[in-house]
Amino acid sequence: MAQATSSPPDLVDEEAPARRSYSSDAAGLGRLRAGIFVAPALLLVAAFLVFPALWVLYLGLTNYRLTGIAAAEPQFVGPANFIDAVSNPAFWNSTWLTVQFVLGSAVIGQVGLGFTIAWLLRDRQGPLKRLVEGLVILAWILPSAVVSFLWVALLDRDGGTLNALLGLPGSAWLLDHPMLSIIVFNTWRGTAFSMMLYGAALGNVPPSHLESARLAGASGWQQLRDVVFPHIRGHILTNLLLISLWTFNDFTPFLITAGGPDGRSEILAAHVYKVALQSGELGYGAAVSTVILLINLVVAVFYLRLLRSRK
Amino acid sequence: MTARFVAGRIGFYTLIAVLLAFFTIPLLWLASAPFTSDPTYEVAVPDFTWENFQAVVEHPYALPSLYNSLVLSAGTAVLVVAMAALAAYALSRVRLPGRDALLYALLLLSSIITGTAAMVPLFQLAVELNLIDSHFGLILILTGGLLPAAIFMLKDFMDSTPKSYEESARVFGASPLQIVRHVVVPLVRPGLATIGVWAVANVWGNFLMPYLLLSDVEKQPAAVITYTLYTEGGQANLRMLSTFGLLYSVPVVLMYLFVSKKYGFRFHGGIKR
């Protein structure tokens, strides 16, 4: 059984030796009761998650539209939507921007900053730690409608706080650097999750290991590389997987830049919203959603592979 | 007190100061504008007027929308925590066939299907099931979207809690359900609280789903009402926006403070695989 100190076990459970008739789990739950415990959650998920997902896959193969004839009687068009998508430069532009967005704000921004904060505050207690953690978590729990507007105010050309601080009146951040703006915004917005996770993970690193590394004369960086990272590798990868997926499908940047100017910050989530709701091409939107799902699948499999591979 | 130690301290506090500034500065406007009589985008020392709050109170839909948000997020959080706890416990302690594959598949689906992609089918589904304009229907739909990630996080939490308590309770003849109620729930309470806060924060800020499924303005939550303030007459109504934004933010902050004081708000043990 995995103790808190052991490295994360493989994803593949070795099948336990032949079971006795009586349930061998800790609470004597048994498979039947376990099934009953899982059932309500699975039912809801099946109705409101799996079923709509399958429906999206189907809609992607039709010419369904929000209004007009195709809304009443959608025709089956097969892969036409997908062909439209891959021949549409706007789609590739969105995909490339999304890659930048995920790498910049999730993989580099949130993981880097979250780990840095967790590492800086790892053996501190008291008001300073509570203040820093509280503020980071505050950025995470405030409603997106509010924080997106706060950033619009912060980056405003004339009265924005950023320009006032930098002494650069008239810099239009949202027009000149839309991607940079939403990447920094999303780093600010989402660091809390990584920070809390790494804070918990660092608590699992046995102090004795760090102590012996220190006595052996390892520098701070060597301690990180040789003692801490091997211990929390599983946490890092799981965290990366979760926030990559969340960032990939995050709609909030749309509230700040609306995908503009001229699509220069139109990440895929915004692209789907635009084609599906604003232009009413539901079939095409569903096809793009399917492509997003496939990309997410590839990302997830990639992470799981990394997680499984033993050094 | 070597020079290197002093340099290290200075570096540490500089870094902390930069971090504090980065996380505080965007929030300043929310603290100053609601109390300023004619706010702009500039952060200025407020002249402490209550007029803006007066205007929010008089707005016909502003305060009711906060109540709607409360109903939606509390209902969703209760359902998510209860169902995810049961499912996560069973998945953590009993080796059901295909467990890990199922979890990862659902997690993948939930990450994509809660966004813009699912709008069309969910809308059609809600129409078919007669769930349009019903808070209860929206709560069910939101719960379905949040459950996979909640189960995933809680299962990790449960994996890292020791089993010995359950085993000893079993030796004393407690039934499985008694064990869950009296042994497991107290053990994982911080995890349940964290998931609860996460669910509330998620629903509290959710705009797309209520916007899609509630056509009656009296049933709409604060997120949707905030957007109507954006676009009144083409110009963002800064007085209303800042003040309503503050009122809309306070409940989640209070909830977080309450939960973190009472249970601690962190991931014990963290996420394993």
Q: pLDDT per residue over A157-167, tens digit each?
A: 887 888 888 88
- Give the whole-number percent of chain A exceeding pLDDT 70: 90
The CB-based long-range contact list for A295-298 (8 Å cut-off, 24+ gap) reads A295/A95, A295/A248, A296/A245, A296/A248, A296/A249, A296/B108, A296/B111, A296/B112, A297/B108
Cβ atoms within 10 Å of A45's Cβ, excluding its own:
25
Nearest to B100 among A11, A235, A245 (CB): A11
Distance from the B192 Cα atom to the nearest Cα atom in chain A, whole angstroms? 15
- Give the whole-number percent of chain A exceeding pLDDT 90: 19
What CA dihedral angle connects A148, A150, A156 and A161, to 10 degrees?
Answer: -150
Cβ atoms within 10 Å of B42's Cβ, excluding its own:
17
Record: contact A200-B96, CB cut-off 8 A: no
Tell me the chain A residues in contact with residue B124 when contact means C-beta distances shorter than 8 Å: 55
The pLDDT-based confidence of B58 (bands split at 50, 70, 90) is confident
Average pLDDT over residues B44-62: 79
Q: Which residue of B has its CA nearest to A157?
A: B41
Task: Tell whether A97 is within 8 A of chain B (Cβ).
Answer: no
Per-residue pLDDT at B267: 57
Q: Which residues contact B41 (CB under 8 A, 6 or more apart)?
A: A152, A153, A156, A158, A159, A160, B29, B238
Record: contact A293-B120, CB cut-off 8 A: no
Task: Tell whether A242 is within 8 A of chain B (Cβ).
Answer: yes
Mutate to test the interface with B, among A146, A162, A232, A272 (most CBs of B within 10 A): A146
How many Å apart are CA B213 and CA A163, to the nearest integer?
40
Record: contact B115-A276, CB cut-off 8 A: no
- The mean pLDDT of chain A is 82
Residue pLDDT, tens place only, A190-199: 999 899 888 8
How far CA B20 is from CA of A7, B24, B37, B42, in Å, comes to 33, 6, 28, 20
Please indicate whether residue B17 or residue A13 has the higher confidence score (pLDDT): B17
Tell me the chain B residues in contact with residue A274 when contact means C-beta distances shorter than 8 Å: none
Record: contact A48-B170, CB cut-off 8 A: no
Average pLDDT over residues A227-244: 84
Tell me the chain A residues in contact with residue B272 when contact means C-beta distances shorter than 8 Å: 2, 8, 234-235, 238
Task: Tell whether A267 is within 8 A of chain B (Cβ).
Answer: no
CB pairs under 8 A between A and B: 314
Residue pLDDT, tens place only, A66-85: 777 767 777 888 888 898 88
Average pLDDT over residues B79-100: 87
Q: Which residue of A has its CA nearest to B250?
A: A142
Nearest to B140 among A41, A48, A144 (CB): A48
DSSP 8-state assignment for residue A62: B
Average pLDDT over residues B75-93: 92
- The mean pLDDT of chain B is 83
Tell me the chain A residues in contact with residue B173 when contact means C-beta distances shorter than 8 Å: none
Restricting to A residues 244-263, those with a Cβ less than 8 Å away from any Cβ of B are 245-246, 248-251
Is-cis flag, bond preceding B60, omega within 30?
no
- Give the whole-number percent of chain B exceeding pLDDT 90: 21
Cβ atoms within 10 Å of A198's Cβ, excluding its own:
25
3-state secondary structure at position B18: helix
Q: Which residue of B has its CA nearest to A283?
A: B120
Record: contact A149-B236, CB cut-off 8 A: yes
Can you give the pTM of this predicted structure?
0.82
Distance from the A125 Cα atom to the nearest Cα atom in chain B, whole angstroms? 14
The pLDDT-based confidence of B80 (bands split at 50, 70, 90) is very high
How many Å apart are CA A112 and CA A132, to the nearest integer?
16
Task: Tell whether A302 is within 8 A of chain B (Cβ).
Answer: no
Per-residue pLDDT at A14: 38
Task: Tell whether A298 is within 8 A of chain B (Cβ).
Answer: no
Record: contact B166-A131, CB cut-off 8 A: no
